[in-house]
Structure 1
Amino acid sequence: MNIKKTIFLVALSGVLFASCSKNDEPELPKGDYDNGILVSNEGAFSGGTGTVNYISNDYLTEEEAIYNKVNSANIGTVLQSIGFNGDDAYLIANVANKISVADRYTMKKITEISSDLNNPRYIAFANGKGYVTNWGAGSDTTDDFIAVIDLSTNTVTSTISVSEGPEQIIANGNTLYVSHKGGWGTGSSVSVINAETDAFVKNISVGTLPDEMFIDNSGRLVVSCEGKAVTSWNPTEVLGSLVRINTSSNEIESTINFNTEFHPNSMSFSDGSIYLSTSSKIYKMEENSTQIPTTEVITTTVYGFSVNDGKIYVTDAKDYQSNGSLKIFDASTNLELKEFTVGLIPGKVYFN
């Protein structure tokens, strides 16, 4: 028998066994709110506070007002949105002019940003900084801006003036795109900002009331423009549109007008499909399609929605005075899987 060879093989098998055993070990949760769904609830507009509900991925664990419970503190009036930067969650309270920074998996508060904000809406991250859209005073069309946050200190270090009603903001590398829905519902542009210099680059004229955006699999910016339905104060309909923008040239590649009386207020992108929602229906189209869908895939009351990992998550604000709900649908069959009661005016759905 070759003693050296036997020793070598035994040692090698031990290394392989240890390596396999290590790889087979399950990854431990990063906190009580890992491996689950987060629902941001706006809360009452006057004197209320936003809250966050947690639902585990297996649907067995539910917990309400998790930030409030962990920190014995309130988020503030109207939780507009949550942005994630690594393990940190930025909870933006619109009316309170405050951003609470917390660990996204434990909800333990890290710090609070309460200076140099004015009607903050959404946040994006680029070049080591945070960028927050701010509407300013609703009656002033000249005071809208992007607040630039130093993420090492979580303080606002500068602002970038933009046109009225900056709403959604997303980053594509070191380029930021901002949809301008308009403080009084009159916006029709997307701003481009350089995150290396924090300088405004240009405005791209798009459709009326641009809102939700995403970067598609071809690297294009896709913008959903709501348009305007006929109402007592708007006697003439303005068609909405889906606009695709080349992110290399920042020029419009194509515009597809929505059908008459079709004014989607939310959009989500997942697995090569675009989902659009009205207040009572959800539609689906392929990302390169030139045809707007005319038949819904789901009929249900929609306040906000997200699509993730083969499921469609839909919030319903009910009567805006009692707790709302979250419905979960299978994205393949469009069948409802589960419904949960959540907080007051549930808006957005996020995933840990």
Structure 2
Amino acid sequence: MKQFKLNYLLITLAFVSLLASCKKDKDPEFRLPTQGVYVLSQGNFNQNNSTLSYYDYRDKTTNPDIYQSSNGVKLGDTGNDVGIYGSKMYIVVNNSNRVTIADAKTAKLNKQITIAQPRFVVFYDKNAFVTSYNGTVSVIDTASLTITKTITVGRNPEQMAISNGKLYVANSGGLDFSYNFDKTVSVIDLTTLAETKKITVTDNPVSLAADSYNNIYVLSMGNYGGDATHPPIDPGMTVINAQTDVVRSKPAVSLGYSVPILAQGDFVYFPTADNKIAMFNAKTQTMERANFITDATTVTTPFALAFDKLTNQIFIADAKDYSSNGSLYVYDVTGKMAYSVTTGIIPGKIAFINK
């Protein structure tokens, strides 16, 4: 009888505990951390209409411009990149000549740093690195939010990638309209913060990604078909060995003039000339398949790629016609679309956040 009463008491306590836990789950105070995605849309040049939208995974709602709603002012002109490091979000606003630093959870403004025509940002060991069209990389201390060093690289640097303690910088020369494009990737030692060498690649390199096999992938835009006195140079890919800093190969790929790139797991993703999303096998260094997307959906103008490790989904931003609102398409790893979200004009960068 005593054993029966003890078992009954234990069952009752367990039931009460279960009810209490269910009550806690319904209470907002006990919600799990919310994750969502920021999408930075460039807007149109000289129109001051860049936007930072936020899509909430839990509520399935979109704030079309969380920066403006949090600060009461517009973000600026031609937002080019966004990255989250620690509790801060760094928004590179190219034609406004500044890097805007905001709270990563609320998008509330913290500080703005003036940099001439900034392009992209990456992070390493308490530093943010920002390329500028003036041929430099600015080093920002993420604690003091001040520029501590400026590193001279090539002409009109664009994207960067980090591997083996080195920062790789794509020097495009993209503002040289005489077809005299740059065709180098600068290598910066992240201990000394000094450029150690330049690696020659296909003309007009703009996009970089690092895989887990010590490779750097460089996508170059070529010379846009050339002219009567300049033979055409097609867009192309260069693979650099990040251990030796020697060009490993130049795989034959089909590229358009919109060249975001994503290295994730064993694969590298990038848009082709016909706006499909190609998959390149980083392990075997061969093409995996011509199109990652396996359902009937199409992307008009793929302009940004990202991977959310928490949801195991691939995000593709579609700039469409460059003048109306774009879209964010979300796919599972098999290439089937899960859902889509409306963005601002020319969605160009994607960043994920826990709240």
Task: Work out whether the TM-score is over 0.5.
Answer: yes
The whole-number CA distance in structure 2 between the counterparts of 1:57 and 1:81 is 22
Number of the residue aligned with 2:330: 328
Which shifted more, 291-300 or 70-79? 291-300
Q: 1:293 to 1:286 in 2, by over 3 A?
A: closer
- Structure 1 residue 123, shift from structure 2 partner: 1.2
Say if 1:75 and 1:234 are closer, same or farther in 2 by CA, change over 3 A.
farther
Instruction: Work out the CA distance in 1 between the residues paired with 2:151 and 2:80.
Output: 21
- 1:197-208 paired onto structure 2 within 5 Å: 197-208=192-203
Q: 1:291 Cα shift?
A: 3.3
Correspondence 1:269 to 2:268: no
Instruction: Between 271-280 and 234-243, report the one with greater CA deviation.
Output: 234-243
2:137 to 126, 140, 146: 146
Correspondences of 1:12-161 after superposition (within 5 Å): 28-29=32-33, 34-58=34-58, 60-114=60-114, 117-136=115-134, 144-161=135-152
Contact 1:303–1:347 (CA<8 Å) still a contact in 2? no
With over 3 angstroms needed to count, the CA separation of the structure-2 counterparts of 1:262 and 1:121, relative to structure 1, is closer
**Letter of the 1:195 counterpart:** L
Q: 1:82: how far off?
A: 0.6
Stretch of structure 1 that moved more, 280-289 or 74-83: 280-289
Report deviation, 1:87. Answer: 1.8
Q: State the shift of 1:294 in Å.
A: 7.0
Q: What corresponds to 1:6 in structure 2?
A: none
1:151 deviates by 2.1
Matched with 1:181 is: 172
Pick which of 205-214 and 87-96 moved more.
Answer: 205-214
Unaligned regions of 5+ residues in structure 2, if any?
1-16
Is the partner of 1:276 in helix, strand or coil? strand
One-letter amino acid of the structure 2 residue matched with residue 344 of structure 1: I
Deviation at 1:229, TM superposition (A): 5.0
- Give the distance between the partners of 2:322 and 2:251, measured in 1 at CA: 34
> Distance in 2 between the 1:254 and 1:156 partners?
36
The more displaced of 342-351 and 165-174 is 165-174
> Aligned residues: percent identity?
28
In the alignment, the residues of structure 2 paired with residue 328 and residue 234 of structure 1 have an alpha-carbon distance, to the nearest angstrom, of 44
Compute the TM-score of the two structures, normalised by the length of structure 1. Answer: 0.80
Long gaps (5+) in structure 1: 1-16, 137-143
Once the two structures are overlaid, the 10-residue window that deviates more, 61-70 or 169-178, is 169-178
Q: Is 1:340 the equivalent of 2:334? A: no
> What corresponds to 2:350 in structure 1?
349
Bigger relative contact order (CA 8 A; separation at least 6): 2
* Partner Cα distance (1:295, 1:151) in 2: 40
One-letter amino acid of the counterpart of residue 304, structure 2: F
Find the aligned partners of 1:41 and 1:177 in 2 and give their Cα distance: 25
Is 2:236 the partner of 1:241? yes
Q: How far is the alpha carbon of 1:89 from its aligned partner?
A: 0.6
Checking the alignment, whether the CA contact within 8 Å between 1:324 and 1:342 is kept in structure 2 is: yes
RMSD: 2.9
Contact 2:164–2:243 (CA under 8 A) maintained in structure 1 = no
Distance (Å, rounded) in 2 between the aligned partners of 1:58 and 1:272? 30
User: Partner letter of residue 331 of structure 1?
Assistant: V
Give the whole-Å Cα distance in 2 for the aligned partners of 1:230 and 1:44.
25
5 Å-filtered alignment, 1:224-235, equals: 224-228=219-223, 230=225
State the alpha-carbon separation in 1 of the partners of residues 104 and 75 from structure 2.
Answer: 14
Aligned amino acid, residue 333 of structure 2:
A
Match of 2:4 in 1: none
The residue aligned with 1:196 is 191
The 1:134/1:229 distance shift into structure 2, 3 A limit, reads closer
